[in-house]
Structure 1
Amino acid sequence: MVLGGLMCPATVPWSLLAYAFLGLVLMWQVGRLLHRLWWLPRRLELALRAQGLRGTPYRFLTGDLREHGRLNKEAWARPLPLRCHDIVPRVVPFLHNAVREHGNACITWFGPTPKVTITDPDLAKDVMSNKFGHFEKPKFPALTKLFSDSLANHEGEKWVKHRRILNPAFHLEKLKRMLPAFFACCEELISRWMESLGSDDSYEVDVWPEMQILTGDVISRTAFGSSYLEGRRIFQLQAEQTERLMKCIQKIVIPGYMSLPTKNNRKMHQIKKEIDSILRGLIDKRMQAMKEGESSKDDLLGLLLESNMRHMEENGQSTQGLTIEEVIEECKLFYFAGMETTSVLLTWTMLLLSMHPEWQDRAREEILGLFGKNKPEYKGLSRLKIVTMILYEVLRLYPPVITFVRQTYKQMEIGGVTYPAGVIIEFPVLFIHNDPNIWGSDVHEFKPERFAEGISRASNDRGAFLPFGWGPRVCIGQNFALLEAKMALCMILQRFEFGLASSYTHAPHTVMTLHPMHGAQMKLRAI
């Protein structure tokens, strides 16, 4: 207020206090950022280096992301020779250089967070089996919210509850009932290829998108039964969401980036909203049918809802089960885990059998000996020895998930090193699967016979085969994936022989999983 050209003295202190308060808030926020982005990383770095660990120096805010991107760009521009399975330098060039320069336990930086890479399989098993405790999955709430806040991200009692409710859906007896759905989807694929054959009974096709379509259809049928066409739309949306999320992965270290109204962020929120809407409709219809006395179906959604109701009845409280929102999130996980990993496995299997036709012939001979050209059934699938050896060797050389990560939330000792809270521990499966000290001097060769006596005798370390993880958090869908892969491979080898097309370029790289960068072009010939 102004009186006679002078400011009222009573107003001066309040305005000064307001400015002072705003200044303090600003200083507090700046202090928090400096602590998170500079002082804490430097303190963690000093604590790790004091114990003899070596690695890259911390760079403010971005850490090693810029160098990581630069080396990826350089390596991914150079394809590998055909039949070359030494893929580590191309797939993860930054990590390859870091381990070579700084040792098998080395420090790198994911933005302001230190990441220690450990290539010892025994330590990997100990941490993933939670032998030491005090480890959990790294938290990226913004990404989790947009993709899937499901079993894979939960910890503690919440994880135990979700795993207990989900387990019955993946029991082997339940999976056997899904074989007709596996067969129907594979039959559609085979029919489509047969109709595309030229006058010479051959057909050139990129099998990478074909395998994605196949496994997307399989998970749509096995998750939602008769509603699989609606499920197919979810598969398409999830695929787009994955691509968009990967564009953001290097920017999430910037505080608040995922909340910015960028075009990509807005589109991801729209996709999430559409996926949630479709899933909510499917779940509501199924729950209503079950309330009206309709028996639950043998698809994953029906089995999940049945297990959830039984869990609530046994505990006597509805709060003990999964909410609709939690069921939605678990259905999203069905899609990514069920579609992505199996399509990767099948694509690399066909590529490697094209590069090594002698193993393609051996697999076909085994399949025709068991089934002829008839429908593969479970008993026969469980007796496939050569096919199983081939799938294991593909998973060793080209694991869909190339690394597992955990984060310390308390001070913890691993392998004689004390790690403070807030350190990411990374176990690179791809490195462990390519270690000549574990697998022998022929580690980079495609030799399925190394699994002739099973996984435990394939190397000199019984636990060095980790394509599905290890311990209590081992992939819940591994039996589903292997059964589906066996069915698909049997039906393809019964009808076709295949080799690489001249346009194929051997260029494995990572998106979320290990993809063929330029596709998987093959020439199929009917037999």
Structure 2
Amino acid sequence: MEFLLVLLRALSSLALAGVVGYIFHHYTTSWLKSQRLRKKIRMQGIKGPPPSFLYGNLPEMRQIQLKAKKTRNHTEIVAHDYTSTLFPYLDHWRKEYGLIYTYSTGLRQHLYVNDLEVLKEMNQSNTLHLGKDSYMTKALQPMLGNGIIRANGHLWAHQRKIIAPEFFMDKVKGMVGLMVESTEPLLKKWEAIIDAKGGLPAEINVDGDLRSVSADVIARACFGSSYVEGKQIFSKLRTIQTTITKQGFLFGLNNSRFLPNNKKISTLEREVELSIWETVKGRQPECLDTSSGRKDLMQLILEGAVNDDNVGNASPQKFIVDNCKNIYFAGYETTAITASWCLMLLALHPEWQSRIQAEVAQVCKNGLPDAESISRLKMVTMVIQETMRLYPAAAFVSREALQETRIGNILVPKGVCIWTLIPTLHRDPDIWGADAHEFKPDRFINGVSKACKSPQGYIPFGLGTRLCLGKNFAMVQLKVLISLIVSRFTFSLSPSYRHSPAFRMLVEPEHGVYIQIQKI
């Protein structure tokens, strides 16, 4: 009996040693592969911080992040440069190694690129070999599935072919009336709040209301439903988003990413997918009726899944649900956040409120934008462009070299992830001038090409073949929303407002945007 116990202990020790040996061998092999990639990059004259064994530059990143958090200056002054707080390690290395450098997170090798010439090459490239980075988007799978935001290669190209035409400008202009209708309840709600205070200025947190408007527009325009019907879908996607962000999905700086929050996310994921599929089934007879008139996006996605064999390994149902999730998220979240930042900046600069009010009165019949007047709202456009310069909703353009790819003079090895920090690019004095950190919409008076040194210095909607498909849709919706709000109300920043940009997949106001608002 004692011999058996000794034998079992020995076997257990051997098994444990085997597992440990396998893990060590796997990590060592992966580490050597990462080092080979780093060597290929460094041989091209690209430098970067020296990595530690297995962890790469993660320990240094954590150290820099903690130091930035401790030294953060909590003042009431609204300062627009937040990259040194949210991404201090990237800012720190840029100052040390320049506009192009390499670093690693664990076993992943990265290439930081904020050089205009390289970005120009990326913008002009139409290769499918630069795709979304798999390691990061894997964390986003519960929220996005394998829809157009995450997909790569021919599956992505197929999805783009289906979705892109719905957002061509001629179709978007036809949605202006719908956008005005979706904004009216918000205007009436704010007027009622002011009336309840006897006409005196009222404090409002705008974020939730702007999300409701944006969600209603995307639901009605693309899916033939309303925000009320899709409210649970939007709410659950928002919860998944915040939960994933808290797990430190970006570079693994938060160890909680390895803790079991997966059950909550999986439950929400199943509930969202079920809700979307129920909506799809309710629309199926209408969507498959070939005698119907103009088709909305859900109809196009449904047809694309049913009639094509290019949906990859996914079932038609998953293809439909995944792309609906992508559009629900991308279509409302980014627009609502940009609108919040826009109202914050206008609250700080009342002179621009006056200029917009005068323009809307002159250009829009009865103060309501329509398909004809929307393109003539120059002041509104300039303010939105400047808002997206200072506060782009997406902080990064990220790509993974799915095959060895040449970008200008750089040969990017397969597996290397390329990162461009958009807000740093947007506030670079060498590109924008000495006033790069100031809110000056007039810089866009002659368009983007005249506003900065190079058009590649302004990329709020990304760049290259993967430029945001909803760019026209977002711009028109923002014009409608901002012109209607500013033409009805005047507002200033509330004392309750705390300026603290936060990264939650997108850069948003951490504590919301509070304004003091009154009717004109």
Q: Residues 294 and 238 from structure 1, CA distance in 2 versus in 1: closer, same or farther, beyond 3 angstroms?
A: farther
- Give the structure 2 partner of residue 244 of structure 1: 243
Structure 1: how far apart are the matches of 2:259 and 2:344?
Answer: 41
Cα deviation, 1:169-193, whole Å, max 9, x if unaligned, reads 2222332333233122211111111
In the TM superposition, residue 414 of structure 1 has moved relative to its aligned partner by 3.7
Q: Does 1:147 align with 2:147?
A: no
Alignment partner of 1:362: what SS? Answer: helix
Does the CA contact (< 8 Å) of 2:215 and 2:332 recur in 1?
A: yes
Structure 2: how far apart are the matches of 1:435 and 1:374?
Answer: 37
Picking from 171, 174, 184, the partner of 2:171 is 174
Alignment partner of 2:448: what SS? Answer: coil
Alignment partner of 2:462: what SS? Answer: coil
In the TM superposition, residue 21 of structure 1 has moved relative to its aligned partner by 9.5
Worse-superposed segment, 502-511 or 298-307: 298-307
Q: Residues 251 and 414 from structure 1, CA distance in 2 versus in 1: closer, same or farther, beyond 3 angstroms?
A: closer
Structure 2: how far apart are the matches of 1:280 and 1:199?
Answer: 46
Structure showing greater radius of gyration is: 1
Worse-superposed segment, 174-183 or 433-442: 174-183
Q: TM-score, normalised by structure 2?
A: 0.88
- Give the structure 1 partner of residue 229 of structure 2: 230
Q: Does 1:120 align with 2:133?
A: no
Does the CA contact (< 8 Å) of 1:170 and 1:480 recur in 2?
A: yes
Q: How does 1:310-321 map to 2 (within 5 A)?
A: 312=308
Structure 1: how far apart are the matches of 2:411 and 2:74?
Answer: 40
- Give the structure 2 partner of residue 220 of structure 1: 219
Structure 2: how far apart are the matches of 1:505 and 1:239?
Answer: 22
Alignment partner of 1:437: what SS? Answer: helix
Q: Does 1:360 align with 2:368?
A: no
Q: Does 1:283 align with 2:274?
A: no
* Percent of residue pairs identical: 29
Structure 1: how far apart are the matches of 2:67 and 2:365?
Answer: 47
Instruction: In structure 2, give the amino acid aligned to 1:459.
Output: C
Structure 2: how far apart are the matches of 1:490 and 1:390?
Answer: 11
Cα deviation, 1:44-98, whole Å, max 9, x if unaligned, reads 3333334332222223444344544554455454346535333332332221111
Structure 1: how far apart are the matches of 2:20 and 2:317?
Answer: 41
In the TM superposition, residue 257 of structure 1 has moved relative to its aligned partner by 9.6
Does the CA contact (< 8 Å) of 1:65 and 1:250 recur in 2?
A: no
Q: Residues 303 and 505 from structure 1, CA distance in 2 versus in 1: closer, same or farther, beyond 3 angstroms?
A: same
In the TM superposition, residue 241 of structure 1 has moved relative to its aligned partner by 0.4
Count the aligned residue pairs: 510
Structure 2: how far apart are the matches of 1:23 and 1:358?
Answer: 71
Does the CA contact (< 8 Å) of 1:61 and 1:253 recur in 2?
A: no
Does the CA contact (< 8 Å) of 1:296 and 1:302 recur in 2?
A: no
- Structure 1 gaps of 5+ residues are none
- Give the structure 1 partner of residue 73 of structure 2: 78
In the TM superposition, residue 209 of structure 1 has moved relative to its aligned partner by 2.6
Picking from 81, 87, 91, the partner of 1:92 is 87
Structure 1: how far apart are the matches of 2:150 and 2:387?
Answer: 27
Structure 1: how far apart are the matches of 2:163 and 2:314?
Answer: 11
Picking from 499, 515, 525, the partner of 2:518 is 525
Picking from 393, 415, 418, the partner of 2:386 is 393
Does the CA contact (< 8 Å) of 1:224 and 1:231 recur in 2?
A: no
Alignment partner of 2:398: what SS? Answer: strand
Instruction: In structure 2, give the amino acid aligned to 1:338.
Output: G
Does the CA contact (< 8 Å) of 1:224 and 1:299 recur in 2?
A: yes
Structure 1: how far apart are the matches of 2:214 and 2:338?
Answer: 11
Structure 2: how far apart are the matches of 1:320 and 1:171?
Answer: 29
Does the CA contact (< 8 Å) of 1:499 and 1:524 recur in 2?
A: yes
- Structure 2 gaps of 5+ residues are none
Structure 2: how far apart are the matches of 1:123 and 1:351?
Answer: 34
Q: Residues 228 and 506 from structure 1, CA distance in 2 versus in 1: closer, same or farther, beyond 3 angstroms?
A: closer
Q: Residues 174 and 285 from structure 1, CA distance in 2 versus in 1: closer, same or farther, beyond 3 angstroms?
A: same
Q: Does 1:108 align with 2:103?
A: yes
